[in-house]
């Protein structure tokens, strides 16, 4: 009960910024999952082929990674962070609104690249700001943050579904074969791997008949309150450029955070309150500058690297499993019907969202390191059982649900754990977000190539190997945590010292 009361007290002290960051992550999730289900309709709209549309996936994923790397550039002040979030969330609404107007695949790829940049900035900045506000108490709030991205990713395909074409959306004299196989083609589409559908007739010329534009306009309207919420936070903090007041807010966000840490607040010297650059949470390129490494122990680098590698594997598993589980199920030896196999990706993402909701309640009773251990072991055991019972359709559904639960809280728990080790001074948020994004894209490419060469059974073998590597890297992380210098009571004693995040630089206006 005391833990729950503490969480509610912390949330009450930072309610508006926390709800704003959660809503921005809903935008991220909304933009994350709409492309796959709508791809065939977008193919009709742009009169393009499926291989050409892989560039649309690539532009979004590549720019998402680029945005994640560069997101730390906007962390220096609260004004910069909120303006970047406002621009990014507004850009997502604009992207949804203009996608129906893109009748050329190159133009569509450019628009999706803008969406990817906005998503990458949101991913880095929202995680970073919650960690800075709550620090050692951030685990619960990070779990809630990632619940909202799961909720958005679950909602966007449901919005799009009523407007998807039931028949080939380009009407010509040769559409009957493609029409009968359209649901199977739609569910088999995977980013970067559109598959071999050359034996289906997907005409590129004819009359376009699609209603998918309405789905994008609905999503644009649903997302519109998010940039408005960010603007209200900017206004409350008196950070709107044209409406700035000479008098600052009574309490900035970091000072509010200090209210929950009275002992630490009293130890702050007057000199520490002067505006100065923050010691961590730079963009990826700034993190790599040699001046940031002076006096750092080898364990400082090892914690960053091993933490990123764990998420490289676990987020990679999330991407490749959701992308290829349908194709695996409809192939031998399972030969699941197309309609039933189509439920598997939804089941997987549904349990990821449910797991993140459950993790909100669990995380204030369980340490992040324990949660990550349960997650990586659970992923490894689930893949082992899926291999053992590889001929059981029932266990495929059970295993898919279990895998979604175990993967659901890995990222926020790992982020909270790694930041705690580094005392919020390293570049953990930027490095971990970037590592997770690289894993999701590259492992999907790798698994797609292996399945093409070795057959569908290699899908589970790859998952087992990736799960084993995630557990191995996590073991190394535990070892480097033990080797990492413990925080000193003297704030000037160690380059890896914990600091009270006054972050005047972060919140200066």
User: What confidence score (pLDDT) does residue 212 get?
Assistant: 84
Q: Write the DSSP assignment of 194-232 as a string of letters.
A: ----TTS---SSSEE---HHHHHHHHHHHHTHHHHHHHH
> Read out DSSP for 65-120?
HHHHHHGGGG-SSHHHHHHHHHHHHHHHHHHHHHGGG--SHHHHHHHHHHHHHHHH
As beta bridge partners, residue 170 has 208
Distance, CA of 128 to CA of 135 (rounded, Å): 10
Confidence of residue 232 (pLDDT cuts 50, 70, 90): very high
What is the rounded CA–CA span in Å between residue 202 and residue 44?
Answer: 9
CA distance 202 to 182: 9
Say which residue, 329 or 397, is predicted with more confidence.
Answer: 397
Across the range 431-449, mean pLDDT stands at: 86
Domains in the chain (CATH in brackets) are 17-168+207-241 (1.20.1250.20), 297-486 (1.20.1250.20)
- Evaluate whether 397 touches 273 at the Cβ level (below 8 Å): no
Q: What pLDDT is attached to residue 498?
A: 38
Which pLDDT band holds residue 222 (cuts at 50, 70, 90)?
A: very high
CA separation for the pair 378, 384 (Å, rounded)? 10
Query: In whole numbers, what is the pLDDT of the chain averaged over residues?
Result: 78
**Residue 126, exposed/middle/buried by CB under 10 A (0-12, 13-18, 19+)?**
buried
pLDDT of residue 276: 35
3-state secondary structure of 171: strand
% residues pLDDT > 90 (the chain)? 29
User: Does 189 score more than 60 pLDDT?
Assistant: no
Confidence (pLDDT) at 184? 53
Q: For residues 346 and 243, which has the higher predicted lDDT (pLDDT)?
A: 346
Mean pLDDT value of segment 4-22? 86
**250 pLDDT more than 50:** no
Q: Tell me: the pLDDT tens digits for 382-411?
A: 999 999 998 899 999 999 999 999 999 999
**What average pLDDT does range 279-300 have in this prediction?**
60
Share of the chain above pLDDT 70, in %: 74
Residue 86 to residue 34: CA distance in whole angstroms: 21
CA distances to 95, 199, 297, 426, 472 from 284, rounded to whole Å, are 26, 44, 19, 11, 25
Q: Is the pLDDT of residue 176 over 70?
A: no
In this predicted structure, the answer to whether residue 66 has a pLDDT above a threshold of 50 is yes
CB-based contacts of 229: which residues, under 8 Å, 6+ apart?
19, 20, 23, 24
Q: Please indicate whether residue 461 or residue 158 has the higher confidence score (pLDDT).
A: 461
Question: Is 90 exceeded by the pLDDT of residue 423?
Answer: no
Least confident of 224-228, 381-385, 451-455: 451-455
Whole-angstrom CA distances from 434 to 72, 123, 290, 466 are 11, 10, 19, 18
Q: What distances in angstroms separate CA 289 from CA 150, 248, 292, 293, 327, one per listed residue?
A: 34, 33, 6, 7, 44
Alpha-carbon dihedral sign for residues 54, 58, 61, 67: negative
Which of 115, 64, 109, 122 is CA-nearest to residue 93?
Answer: 115
pLDDT of residue 407: 94
pLDDT attached to residue 494: 40
Residue 268: strand, helix, or coil? coil
Nearest residue to 86 via CA among 247, 218, 237, 284: 237
Q: For residue 295, name the pLDDT band (cuts at 50, 70, 90).
A: low
Is residue 427 scored above 80 in pLDDT?
no
- Which range (6-10, 163-167, 175-179) has the least confidence? 175-179
What ranges make up the beta strands (E) of 105-259? 170-171, 207-208
Name the nearest CA neighbour of 432 among 309, 350, 251, 345. Answer: 309
- What is the structure's pLDDT at 259? 47
Predicted pLDDT at 117: 93
**More confident position, 179 or 388:** 388
Q: How far is CA 360 from CA 30, 354, 410, in A?
A: 21, 10, 12
Return the higher-pLDDT residue of 411 and 72: 411
Q: What residues does 171 pair with on adjacent strands?
A: 207
- Across 274-288, 295-309, 369-383, 430-444, least confident range: 274-288
- Which among 355, 259, 358, 361 has a CA at the least distance from the CA of 4? 361
Beta strands of 213-310 (E only): which ranges? none
pLDDT digits (tens, 9 = 90+) for 201-217: 555 555 556 788 899 99
Once rounded to an integer, what is the mean pLDDT over residues 307-313? 94
CB 345 within 8 A of CB 212: no
Higher local confidence (pLDDT), 292 or 449: 449
pLDDT of residue 52: 76
Q: Which has more pLDDT, 385 or 190?
A: 385
Two tokens, residue 379: 């992923």
Rounded CA separation 405/409 (Å): 8
Segment 29-41 shows an average pLDDT of: 79
Give the three-state DSSP class for 132: helix
Nearest Cα neighbor of 50 from 234, 169, 185, 166 is: 185
Q: Contact 33/159 with Cβ under 8 angstroms?
A: no
Nearest CA among 226, 192, 200 for reference residue 35? 192
Comparing C-alpha atoms, which of 304, 313, 476, 309 is closest to residue 407? 313
Give 84-104 pLDDT, tens digit per residue: 999 999 999 999 999 999 988
Between helix 105-134 and helix 410-421 the angle, nearest 10°, is 50
> Is the predicted pLDDT of residue 182 greater than 70, yes or no?
no
Name the residue with tokens 């921005």: 24
């Amino acid at each position: 009960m005391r833990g729950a009361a503490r969480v509610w007290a912390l949330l009450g002290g930072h309610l508006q910024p926390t709800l704003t960051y959660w809503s921005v992550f809903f935008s991220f999730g909304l933009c994350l999952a709409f492309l796959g289900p709508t791809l065939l309709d977008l193919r009709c709209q742009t009169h393009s082929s499926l291989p050409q549309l892989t560039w649309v996936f690539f532009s979004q994923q590549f720019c998402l990674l680029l945005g994640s790397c560069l997101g730390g550039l906007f962390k220096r002040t609260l004004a910069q962070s909120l303006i970047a979030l406002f621009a990014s969330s507004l850009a997502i609404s604009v992207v949804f609104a203009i996608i129906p107007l893109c009748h050329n695949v190159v133009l569509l790829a450019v628009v999706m690249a803008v969406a990817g940049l906005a998503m990458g900035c949101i991913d880095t900045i929202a995680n970073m700001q919650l960690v800075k506000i709550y620090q050692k108490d951030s685990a619960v709030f990070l779990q809630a943050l990632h619940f909202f991205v799961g909720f958005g990713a679950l909602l966007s395909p449901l919005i799009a579904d009523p407007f998807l074409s039931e028949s080939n959306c380009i009407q010509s004299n040769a559409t009957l074969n493609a029409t009968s196989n359209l649901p199977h083609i739609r569910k088999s589409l995977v980013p970067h791997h559109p598959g071999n559908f050359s034996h289906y007739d997907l005409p590129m010329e004819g009359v376009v008949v699609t209603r998918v534009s309405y789905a994008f306009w609905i999503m644009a309207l649903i997302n519109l309150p998010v940039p408005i919420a960010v603007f209200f936070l900017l206004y409350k903090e008196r950070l709107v450029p044209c409406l700035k007041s000479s008098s600052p807010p009574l309490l900035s966000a970091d000072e509010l955070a200090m209210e929950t840490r009275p002992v630490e607040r009293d130890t702050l010297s007057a000199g520490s309150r002067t505006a100065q650059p923050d010691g961590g949470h730079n963009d990826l390129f700034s993190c790599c500058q040699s001046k940031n490494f002076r006096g750092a122990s080898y364990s400082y680098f090892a914690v960053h690297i091993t933490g990123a590698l764990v998420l490289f594997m676990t987020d990679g598993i999330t991407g490749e499993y959701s992308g290829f589980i349908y194709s695996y199920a409809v192939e031998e030896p399972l030969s699941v019907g197309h309609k039933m196999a189509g439920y598997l990706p939804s089941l997987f993402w549904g349990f990821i969202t449910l797991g993140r909701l459950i993790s909100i309640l669990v995380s204030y009773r369980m340490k992040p390191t324990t949660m990550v251990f349960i997650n990586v072991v659970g992923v490894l055991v689930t893949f082992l059982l899926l291999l053992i019972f590889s001929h059981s359709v029932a266990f495929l559904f059970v295993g898919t649900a279990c895998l979604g639960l175990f993967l659901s809280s890995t990222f926020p728990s790992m982020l909270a754990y790694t930041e705690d080790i580094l005392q919020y001074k390293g570049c953990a948020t930027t490095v971990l977000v970037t590592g997770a994004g690289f894993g999701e894209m590259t492992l999907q490419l790798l698994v797609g190539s292996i399945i093409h060469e070795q057959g569908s059974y290699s899908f589970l073998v790859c998952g087992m190997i990736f799960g084993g590597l995630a557990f191995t890297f996590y073991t190394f992380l535990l070892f480097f945590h033990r080797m990492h210098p413990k925080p000193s009571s003297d704030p000037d004693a160690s380059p890896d010292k914990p600091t009270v995040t006054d972050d005047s630089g972060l919140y200066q206006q």
